[in-house]
Chain A
Amino acid sequence: MTDLKKIKKEAEKEIGSAKDLKELQDVFNQYLGKRGELTQILRSLKDMPKRERIMFGKDANDVKNALTIAFDEKSAGLKAGEARAAEEKEWIDVTAPGKKIAVGHLHPLTLAKRKTMEIFQSMGFAVAEGPDIETEWYNFDALNIPKDHPARDVWDTFYLKDGPLLRTHTSPVQIRYMEKNNPPLRIIAPGTVYRHESTDSSHEFQLYQVEGLMVDKDISVANLKAVVGEFFRRFFEKEVDFRLRPDFFPFVEPGFDISITCLVCGGKGCSVCKETGWLEVAGAGMVHPNVFKAAGLSPEWQGWAFGFGLERLAMLKYRINDIRLFRSSDLRFLNQF
């Protein structure tokens, strides 16, 4: 009896002081292994008289069960501790930068163009394109800009050696489209345009323009305001106040300049808006009867057209401060989009 108690007490003490799984295994072997002390006692039971065997056997088995539980608990505790220790060795600095994945980038003008196309296509506008090299007829005459008239001076033009010119605006697409398609029509025409002028942070000789045209029997300035307002709202993804004021373009009458509230200062006045609170973003107007005539349409039609510079809109949307960056092909710039 005392042997059992003593074994139990000693075993429990040794289990408790085992520092790792190996030591615990040694303790286990010492008591419960094949040749363990308790194993041998249990084995010797069969040689005992029946009464003694029953009594002693019960006690011995109780000790065995108690020790087994103690071993298991200790073992689980040690295992958890060891796992924790191992994990701790795997500490990483989570503030160190992530590994860079090489991805490509679309040009900001492509992004702005896509957004623009998407908005207008959702309003039923088809996309039309025209050539960069244009004739005097499509670029000027058909648009009611007479030859040798000071009005033509507004468009500084690149001429090619053999006569044609580089279009100064996307408005020729209006004529080309109306020649081939009958109203009612709604189109949006994106494309490159060229201006013979020197460059600075807000002027470029090659630009991306988007032309819009809507023609039907009863299209009004009120409709232009609705469509343009919707475009600004969706393009800039916020409420944008805009205004129309008189301006002159020979191919429209009346003609407007469209300005939006300065997105930088919110209309209070800053250097970007030259303290006016407004930014000119587009020219627009009601299609001039002479333009319909030049495109072969009868006077029953009416409608509006507008044109804006995509660089200007992209500059406002992405807060780009120099228009020359767009065609700089500097990857430090492009990789930000």
Chain B
Amino acid sequence: MLFSYNWLKDYVKSLPAPDKLAVSLTMHFAEVEDIKKLAGDFVFDIDIRPNRAADCFSHLGIAREIAAIANLTLKMPSVKVPFLGAVKTTDLVEVIVQDKPACSRYTAKAVTDVKVGPSPKWLQDRLKACGMRPINNIVDAANYVMLETGQPLHAFDAEKLQGKKIIVRPAKKTEEIVTLDGDKFSLDPTILVIADEKKPVAIAGIKGGKDTEIDKQTKTIIIESANFNPLAIRRASKKINLRTDASVRFEHGLDPNLAEFALNRAASLMQKIAKGKAAKDMIDIYSQKVSPVQINLDLNYLNGLLGINIAKTRAAQILKKLGFKIIKQTKKYLLVEAPTSRSDVSLPEDLIEEIGRIVGYEQIPAVFPAASLIPAKRNDGLFWEDMVKDILKAVGFTEVYNYSFIADKDAGELVELQNPLSAEQKYLRPSLIPGLLTNAKKNAANFSSIKIFEIGKIFKKDKDIKEQKQLTALMTGTDFYQLKGIVDLLLEKLGISSVWYDDYQPTPEESKLELWHPQKRAEIKTDDGEIGFLGEILPIKAVVFDINFDKLVESVSGEHEYRPISKFPAVVRDLAILVPRKIKVEEVLNKINTAGGAIIRDVDLFDIYEGEEVPDDKKNLAFHIIYQSEEKTLTSAEVDLVQQKVIKALEKDPSWEVRK
């Protein structure tokens, strides 16, 4: 919101220099985002937070803040000017408030004999500095008082009000209005209007209508200074998609007690700059009177919450400068009355903020909390997450962070957004795979092989919406077994000892998602059941593992048992065997281990071969079998004996043939 430095000078004598003032306001009130230099003035752009809109979307509000911060005197503009009008407002117009909950106060005053014309330069300059376009002296006076006090005002041409009536009521279903800007709006009963006997003449609190506009011929006007329900204005403004200087102020909830002051201020200004004669009386329909609240401030709490000692006198002085009243003082308490303009203040904490910010937070020392340092409990999920990331990094994977959103890729039931930013981000991702695939394609131009992973949330829709942490990795330029080796390593490092892989059994629904290679895909299983998948991905030549991270964490043990290194040498024998193609390596390994017993330390598959020199329906598997005893050095004869046993066991099946 824009404020004129010159204007502020009217209310605060010896106003600090613009730069100094900006720093003071930023440190004690709200951030001054910009100072623009104009001819003979400076414009301050201040980021007023929503809690202070009600009293500080106004020059007077800012002036009060400055006076409190810099300990200067606030000079309020006088409204004790003699009103010159001979006619009574009540003779010119009747005000009827039909919807009292939506309009807690409506004040009106007539000004006769106005001479509509341009307003004086000083006033035009101030309006322009605040980003408003001067129109004529009547409209400008109303706008000027809004910028001064924060109270939006409206002026009607009294002669254009049909039936001399102002009725505050909900709009009727088929009513329409053309605003001062010439825009036509269709209204409905959720929108509050100001109407004359026949039709709406203004959208209450938002915009005036063309029909009762002030023009060059206007002689008599009715000034409206009213208080509308913030919610009603907010909803109407949203509905017709029209935000104005007035609606923004009403939305934040103005002080009804401000209406009268602003009305008189506008009337006196119109006498001055439009030669008008303001009526001595005013119409005031004030149905829900707002009274100030009292708050008991415990000074120990004040100092305890801020962590600094502020004397009672200083606290009281600050509050008074800000417009609060000290009703009663005791040794430990201040009984404070908040002005009705400060609807944001109702609790002791609110008063503590007022005192704290004026004193300045830079005055508060940094003190470590006295509480004993209890060691923090470990968060298991995050601990394992870190460990997994480290392992994958160690084997060459780079971590990516993708967005949680995806475009529709007919991937079953997805969680849909009500207000997506774009069609590309219409749903929450049900899997990390599409993101990694996109990453791989995007990086392919710069990298010949890609190894990436992500740990992130995925979202699924069953009966309810479920979110789950997922771990997914993708690798290009390699095969299934390489990645399987990585999965093995990862699970082993996490202390998950029993892991096995099963053929993937797709449900009919899953087989619709032709992302995975139907053959080169396995389920990864632990004692707790299936935790994920591993396999080749069809859209690009890549292998992927996709693990439910929440399930993985349930399976980890963190146990890692050291196995003593045998003092006795190991003996390695190779074994090559021809088996039917569909025989699984696991089956062969099981047979070798069972036949060999404890003396076999490890069996290492070092080659799988299909093709030339091997019959069509067969494959050749080659193993290193490592024999080692923990008790003695094995002799060649002892090893040969076991190796023969193994061969015999393998050849029990006539379709298996150990190559000699």
Chain A residues with a Cβ under 8 A of chain B: 102-107, 109-110, 114, 117, 121, 123-129, 131-133, 148-151, 153-154, 158-162, 164, 166, 184, 186, 192, 194, 196, 198, 205-206, 208, 214, 216, 218-223, 225-227, 229-230, 243-248, 250, 253-257, 286, 288-289, 302, 326-327, 329-332, 334-335
Given contacts A114-B386, A222-B365, contact A105 B398 (CB under 8 A): yes
Using a CB-CB cutoff of 8 Å, which residues 421-452 of chain B contact chain A? 421, 425, 428, 435, 438-439, 442-443, 446-447, 450-452
A126 touches B367 (CB 8 A): no
Complex CA distance for A334 and B52, rounded to whole angstroms? 43
A109 touches B377 (CB 8 A): no
Contact with A along B381-406 (1 / 0, CB 8 A): 11000100110111111111111110
Taking the nearest CB of chain A, how far is it from the CB of B98, in angstroms? 23
B306 touches A220 (CB 8 A): yes
Partner of A121, one of B367, B376, B404, B419: B376
Taking CB atoms, residues of chain B closer than 8 Å to A255 are: 353
Complex CA distance for A247 and B465, rounded to whole angstroms? 35
Q: Which of A110, A117, A131, A227 neighbours the largest number of chain B CB atoms within 10 Å of its CB?
A: A110
A243 touches B404 (CB 8 A): no
A206 touches B352 (CB 8 A): no
Taking CB atoms, residues of chain B closer than 8 Å to A229 are: 366
Complex CA distance for A184 and B203, rounded to whole angstroms? 52
Cβ-closest chain B residue relative to A121: B376
Given contacts A121-B376, A128-B379, A162-B465, contact A222 B353 (CB under 8 A): no
Given contacts A105-B393, A244-B361, contact A123 B373 (CB under 8 A): yes
- Could you write out 23 A-B pairs with CB less than 8 Å apart? A104-B393, A106-B390, A117-B382, A159-B417, A159-B418, A160-B416, A184-B371, A205-B425, A219-B371, A221-B356, A222-B366, A222-B367, A223-B367, A226-B369, A245-B26, A245-B361, A246-B353, A248-B51, A250-B51, A253-B347, A253-B349, A329-B438, A329-B439
The bracket for how many chain B residues form the interface is: 35 or more
Instruction: Assess whether B277 is interfacial by the CB under 8 Å rule.
Output: no
Instruction: Assess whether B368 is interfacial by the CB under 8 Å rule.
Output: yes
Taking CB atoms, residues of chain B closer than 8 Å to A158 are: 417-420
Complex CA distance for A154 and B315, rounded to whole angstroms? 31
Taking CB atoms, residues of chain B closer than 8 Å to A221 are: 305-308, 356, 361, 364
Cβ-closest chain A residue relative to B405: A206
Cβ-closest chain B residue relative to A290: B347
Complex CA distance for A166 and B428, rounded to whole angstroms? 10
A245 touches B31 (CB 8 A): yes
B52 touches A248 (CB 8 A): yes
Cβ-closest chain A residue relative to B348: A289
Complex CA distance for A222 and B367, rounded to whole angstroms? 5
Cβ-closest chain A residue relative to B456: A192
Contact with A along B235-246 (1 / 0, CB 8 A): 100000000000
Taking CB atoms, residues of chain A closer than 8 Å to B419 are: 158-159, 196
A161 touches B418 (CB 8 A): yes
Partner of B443, one of A107, A230, A331: A331
Taking CB atoms, residues of chain B closer than 8 Å to A246 are: 28-30, 353, 357, 361
Since A106-B393, A160-B416, A327-B401 are in contact, a sample of 13 more A-B pairs with Cβ atoms closer than 8 Å, ordered by chain A residue number, is A103-B396, A106-B389, A106-B390, A123-B373, A132-B467, A149-B50, A221-B305, A221-B308, A223-B369, A226-B367, A326-B401, A327-B402, A335-B398
Chain B residues with a Cβ under 8 A of chain A: 26-31, 49-53, 230-231, 234-235, 251-252, 304-308, 347, 349-350, 352-353, 356-357, 361-362, 364-371, 373-377, 379, 381-382, 386, 389-390, 392-405, 415-421, 425, 428, 435, 438-439, 442-443, 446-447, 450-452, 456-457, 459, 465, 467
Taking CB atoms, residues of chain A closer than 8 Å to B308 are: 221-222
B356 touches A254 (CB 8 A): yes
Taking the nearest CB of chain B, how far is it from the CB of A277, in angstroms? 11
Cβ-closest chain B residue relative to A287: B349
Taking CB atoms, residues of chain B closer than 8 Å to A335 are: 398
Partner of A164, one of B356, B393, B465: B465
B465 touches A125 (CB 8 A): no
Partner of A148, one of B235, B377, B451, B467: B235
Complex CA distance for A69 and B557, rounded to whole angstroms? 72
Taking CB atoms, residues of chain A closer than 8 Å to B395 are: 104
B415 touches A160 (CB 8 A): yes
Complex CA distance for A114 and B456, rounded to whole angstroms? 16
Taking the nearest CB of chain A, how far is it from the CB of B314, in angstroms? 17
B416 touches A161 (CB 8 A): yes
A216 touches B371 (CB 8 A): yes
B399 touches A334 (CB 8 A): yes
Complex CA distance for A223 and B393, rounded to whole angstroms? 38
Taking the nearest CB of chain B, how far is it from the CB of A176, in angstroms? 14
Cβ-closest chain A residue relative to B350: A253
Complex CA distance for A133 and B389, rounded to whole angstroms? 25
Q: Which of A153, A159, A222, A223 neighbours the largest number of chain B CB atoms within 10 Å of its CB?
A: A222
